[in-house]
Chains A and B, each alone.
Chain A
Amino acid sequence: MSRYSRELSVLAVLAAMLLALGVWAPGFYRLQPLLSLATREAPVLVVACGMVLVVIARQIDISVGSQFSICSVAGGLLAAAGWPMVLVVPASVAIGAMLGMLNGALVAGLGLPSIVVTLAMLVTLRQGLNLFRQGEFVTLPDGVQWFGLSQSVGQALILAATGVLVIVLAAALRHVALGRQIYAVGSDAEASRLAGIRPRWVTFFAFAALGALTGLAAAMNVVQSPQVQPLSGNGMELKVIAAVVVGGVAISGGRGTLWGATAGLMVLACISPALVHLHIEAYWEKAIQGAVILLAAIAEGLRRRRSDA
């Protein structure tokens, strides 16, 4: 019980929010808008899953937004060049994995602080993409959007894939030895090393996995619209990291769960439509997001003070 108290409090907040929406804004619960919202947020959730691994390993990757943009544009270009989607998706995953491995090699191999490495990567990748594309959109050929199926089938497909992915990843994090090792390394890298774990490989893996998942998320995003924006990933890192923190993953490493982060993202994702339904100006969205993150941090701080006492 107390082990998952953070996750349970996020779930409580989410339930309270959904209940409040039901009472004051029943319009929120209409199928099609809700489905669109979920599909829009599905790629963010996939990236957040990867971020959970990296944060549990006591690292952070703020370059995910730029990785996401690059994978989106690359995927769009490949699709425009006539590649079938069954090849575009793995290609996007591979590009993301390579970007993640680059981060991982710099952080784990050279022992550089991840915040510096990924900040540099965030800017470099974004500006590189700007130079290369000059802000141009990629227009996708027919048969790419929703995999050439109807919108609702496409949405269902994306949601189903995301659901399966989260469940498989959550099981893997619990049951695969490597998952356990990520927790151990994040708790105490030196103690893990003395227990025969290779902390650098584990860290490298976490970054590579995050990159691959970001590539997958980009592909899931590309199929949702008729063209690819080169800036589609801008600002994504904030939302992803916020979801992870709100979901009870310790930024100091060693603890957290995928389902906590999923609940955290759901809380953040509901804010914007809730504002619309409650007729509150949209300017409040970011402010409220910020407040939610701050509240999560304060709750964590209070919890720690209590457990130290």
Chain B
Amino acid sequence: MPLLLAFHAIRKSFGAVRALRGVDFELRAGEVHALLGENGAGKSTLIKVATGAHAPDEGSIAIAGETLSALTPALARRLGIACIYQQPALFPDLTVAENLALRLEPVRPFRRVDWRQRTRTAEALLSRVGAAIAPETEVKRLSMPEQQLVEIAGAVGAGARIVIMDEPTASLTRREQERLFGIVRSLRKDGVGVIYISHRLEEIFALADRVTVLRDGASAGTFPVGEMDEPGLIRSMVGREVSHLYPPSHSTPGTVALKIEGVGCKAGGISEVSLTLRAGEVVGLAGLVGAGRTQLARILFGVTPADAGSIEVGGRAVTIRSPQEAMQLGIAYVPEDRRRHGVVLEMPVAQNITLAARRRLFPGGWLRFGRERREAGEFVRRLAIKTASVDAPVGSLSGGNQQKVALARWLATNPRILILDEPTQGVDVGAKSEIHALIRQFAASGQAVLLISSDLPEILGMSDRIAVMRGGRLVEILPGGSTAPQVMSAALGQTLAKGKDAE
């Protein structure tokens, strides 16, 4: 079968982060090729290279046998590459027919629109993918799976030869999944190549011909699906040498700092979460993107309050309805995406550090700049924050140092419970180990730490216990010293085959 797409030695870095470090990948006509990997393994980056959204730093791309020097989104579309994202990228206020037309009709601002032809085309395409949707429906009135079908219809209509599907079943019911599989199979029969990304291993076994596993931005191997079993796949996803030493845990867990039982929140898609956090303990919270880890943190911090279950802090039953209430209970939350939520970029380092600790530092509400600078200077020393001065805006610092400022802000509140959401994401290796050492220090000083991370080695290296979430539920609590395949199996919802790995 002819090769539709061939990537060779693709490299791509974002600043200090090496997202892809030499990936080879091929797609043949009439093949469903699954792409598998942990969070952050490089799947999204690879897709963006294929759709022309990111230009690779190095490596070669060949499409239908022709080597390209550069791929742009427009060129990718002309070459028949279509991508169906988990969140459909349609225009919500336009009708289905208009959305399809935007993709299929020529981009000329002053041409006459043949509305009847437009509707007929839309009807034909929708019926080809088996969707019972009227072309004049506004897209915002469609359900998520219906929107997905519109996207697929657009891809089919554009004569796409390469269709990329990024976790297409994440929000689908069983029946909708079956219908989607039917469409994928008929695309395959028509000689289309499908790149299929999913965390659900059973889908890969049901649908794919080959699977490529990505690990740390490199390909860990491409296997015919028939020659691979689930434990094997999981092992190749996580099987890496620990390239980084984690500080050892000396803590002896003390009294219960936080106890939640049956906690849920409809708006956040969280249900029935029970967990205990002890003083001096680091509990890792593992799970795939979308498993509900950040949602759980937001519940505990009162951002989206729980609507079910009970919460106890320090042995006392409490309700947490706002961040202010959470702070009064001694809970601190360092959010993920620090550039957006963790720090205020325009504000100086000193002001950022004292922003949450106002009540402790300035009891009367009168800000004393001398005290503020001393306090901030103390944290800058303790956390080794590299900044020109405490008056420099946080936006001028490197990512790792911004993260330390976010940490300092919450340490300044003297919290008893510290929730860290992806504290080392996008942070260089040096700052990463410094942050790890700091986390150990907090725990040693009697704080309870809940560590959310998509970095599996970090979870394994730092946690005294590991809680694993999947689909908005806490599915398993593993002891410290568990192995990567155990955590990954729980996160994926697979029971490891009776092998020795499963203890």
Interface on A for B, CB 8 Å cutoff?
3, 174-180, 183-184, 187-188, 190-198, 254-255
- Indicate whether A254 sits within 8 Å of B303 (C-beta atoms), given known contacts A194-B335, A196-B327: no
18 contacts between A and B (CB under 8 A): A174-B367, A175-B367, A175-B369, A176-B365, A177-B362, A180-B355, A187-B344, A188-B344, A188-B345, A190-B341, A194-B333, A194-B342, A195-B323, A195-B344, A196-B324, A198-B324, A254-B346, A255-B346
Q: Does B271 contact A (CB under 8 A)?
A: no
Number of A-B contacts (CB under 8 A): 65
What are the residues of chain B within 8 A of A193 when measuring CB–CB?
A: 303, 323
CB distance from A26 to the nearest CB of B (A): 42
Instruction: Across the interface, name the chain A residue whose C-beta is closest to B368.
Output: A175
A interface: dominant SS: helix
B303/A194 in contact, CB under 8 A: yes
- Indicate whether A183 sits within 8 Å of B347 (C-beta atoms), given known contacts A195-B355, A195-B409: yes
Q: How many residues of B contact A (CB 8 A)?
A: 28
A184/B340 in contact, CB under 8 A: no
CB distance from B207 to the nearest CB of A (A): 39
What are the residues of chain B within 8 A of A178 when measuring CB–CB?
A: 365
Whole-angstrom distance between the alpha carbons of A3 and B335 in the complex?
28
CB distance from B326 to the nearest CB of A (A): 8
CB distance from A274 to the nearest CB of B (A): 35
CB distance from B84 to the nearest CB of A (A): 30
What are the residues of chain B within 8 A of A174 when measuring CB–CB?
A: 367
B342/A180 in contact, CB under 8 A: no
What are the residues of chain A within 8 A of B369 when measuring CB–CB?
A: 175
Q: Does B478 contact A (CB under 8 A)?
A: no
Known: A180-B358, A194-B333, A196-B327. 10 other contacts (CB 8 A): A175-B366, A177-B358, A177-B365, A188-B344, A190-B341, A191-B343, A194-B341, A194-B342, A195-B409, A254-B344
Whole-angstrom distance between the alpha carbons of A187 and B346 in the complex?
7
What are the residues of chain B within 8 A of A198 when measuring CB–CB?
A: 322, 324
What are the residues of chain A within 8 A of B356 when measuring CB–CB?
A: 195-196
Instruction: Across the interface, name the chain B residue whose C-beta is closest to A2.
Output: B393
Whole-angstrom distance between the alpha carbons of A274 and B356 in the complex?
48
Whole-angstrom distance between the alpha carbons of A187 and B344 in the complex?
7
A176/B355 in contact, CB under 8 A: no
B344/A180 in contact, CB under 8 A: no
Within 8 A of A (CB), among B449-495: none
Instruction: Across the interface, name the chain B residue whose C-beta is closest to A171.
Output: B366
A176/B335 in contact, CB under 8 A: no
What are the residues of chain A within 8 A of B367 when measuring CB–CB?
A: 174-177, 179-180
Q: Does B295 contact A (CB under 8 A)?
A: no
